[in-house]
């Protein structure tokens, strides 16, 4: 019975998040439009390459934009779960509800996956109409496997970042963008990590985005299959296996501190 209650609560958190999307639908349309324009703009940069390399360059950039769009949604939705609770004035009720915190957070993670897929598919459709992408040798299954394997790692990072809005109602949300910005910088989203300064390249080795992009590009540009991508996929799954428990532990410690110091009652 307890397990069924937790499952019901998990589904309820997913449903509540989609209802919030519907409530702020106008904003969601604006954000989606911006994502589409941003992806198209980045893809158009590829047209500055030599004609013989233009198609591959455009695809290289578009892959980066699409993968980053999906991974950023995972990160942002999980990292901002506390911010949404504060905005809606439900943070105290949610934290007092007789459910496990892991149910609350996993419900947020499941919503982030579904919402991210919807957003990414919408952007992909727009890109497909705009560009004639060279996908003759692309391995779509390998690319999907790369993005799926990166999901848990980015959710773990989101859980860690969610501590910031929990501890700092005034500046916590803005601080999560610092983490996101560092990941964007070092992961080779729009360029190979080899162009980074030598002192910055070690950070790319600990970013799940680096391995997700390498695997996705190998699949779509070179036709690499899942067996060939296995080292990167296993590394991504290993990072997820570390980051999710670490994120849950850090969040639980921060939650106890916030309750003890009265930070949950503050809305700004």
Return the half-sphere exposure (C-beta side, CA atoms, 13 A cut-off) of residue 154.
Answer: 32
- Digit-coded pLDDT (tens) for 168-217: 766 777 778 888 888 989 998 999 898 999 998 898 998 999 999 999 99
Distance CA 43, CA 60 (A): 8
**Dihedrals phi, psi of 191, to nearest 5 degrees:** -160, 160
Q: What's the start-to-end Cα distance of the chain, in Å?
A: 38
pLDDT score of 2: 61
Query: How many whole angstroms separate alpha carbon 180 and alpha carbon 164?
Result: 13
Q: Is 192 helix (H, G, I), strand (E, B) or coil?
A: coil
Q: Is the pLDDT of residue 145 over 60?
A: yes
- Statement: the pTM of the whole predicted model exceeds 0.85: no
C-alpha 39/C-alpha 58 separation (Å) is 11
Mean pLDDT of the chain: 85
């Amino acid at each position: 019975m307890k397990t069924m209650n937790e499952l019901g609560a998990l589904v309820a958190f997913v449903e509540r998040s989609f209802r919030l999307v519907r409530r702020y639908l106008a904003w969601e349309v604006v954000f989606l439009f911006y994502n589409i324009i941003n992806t198209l703009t980045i893809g158009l940069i590829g047209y500055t390459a030599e004609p013989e390399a233009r198609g591959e360059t455009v695809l290289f950039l578009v892959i980066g934009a699409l993968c980053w769009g999906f991974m950023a949604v995972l990160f942002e939705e999980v990292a901002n779960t506390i911010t949404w609770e504060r905005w809606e004035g439900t943070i105290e009720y949610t934290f007092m509800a007789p459910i496990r915190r892991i149910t609350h957070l996993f419900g947020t993670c499941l919503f982030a996956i579904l919402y991210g897929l919807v957003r990414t598919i919408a952007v992909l459709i727009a890109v497909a109409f705009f560009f004639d992408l060279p996908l003759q040798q692309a391995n779509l299954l390998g690319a999907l496997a790369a993005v799926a394997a990166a999901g848990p790692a980015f959710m773990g990072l989101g859980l860690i970042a969610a501590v910031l809005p929990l501890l700092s109602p005034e500046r916590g949300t803005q601080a999560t963008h610092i983490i996101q910005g560092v990941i964007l910088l070092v992961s080779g989203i729009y360029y190979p990590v080899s162009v980074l300064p030598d002192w910055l390249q070690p950070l790319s080795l600990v970013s799940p985005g680096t391995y997700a992009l390498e695997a996705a590009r190998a699949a779509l540009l070179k036709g690499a299959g899942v067996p060939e991508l296995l080292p990167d996929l296993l590394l991504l799954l290993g990072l997820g296996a570390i980051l999710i428990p670490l994120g849950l532990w850090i969040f639980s410690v921060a939650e106890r501190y916030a309750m003890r110091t009265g930070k949950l009652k503050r809305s700004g």
